Homo-oligomer: A and B are copies of this chain.
């Protein structure tokens, strides 16, 4: 059901507005981020390598990193840190809250309004604005919890 690769103002416009150039690499990286849901820079680079096949040339890893940073500045993608390790990127517009199981690594997306109450309290108490898109809650999913219970009855 992934039908809108690039929502809102497209890549080309935003680049031109800043005097930057539209390159195939940038289009490819953006497309990959939109297609893969919670992809790390490595995963994205890997996919582009696969798509290119043994002959075609895929963007270099360093270009993927630079491009992701750029796309984020342009507001076209967002990244989140799920516990340790690599950050994951997703296309802008799909702003949601991530919940990650620390045991099995499963990532679930949930309604971001879940944190509205907490966010309001932080804003009122500390003047702190929570960026829901970058938040990842960690914990234990149902499966892992049951599995743990089975091992030590």
Contact = CB atoms under 8 A, between A and B. Distances in A.
Interface of A: 81, 83-84, 87, 99, 101-102, 108, 110, 114-115, 117-118, 121-122, 125-131, 134-135, 137-142, 145
B127 A142 contact: yes
A102 B128 CA distance: 11
Contacts of A83: 81, 134
A2 to B, nearest CB: 21
Given A83-B81, A134-B83, A99 B126 contact: yes
B135 A138 contact: yes
Contacts of A138: 130-131, 134-135
Contacts of A141: 126-128
B135 A137 contact: yes
B140 A126 contact: no
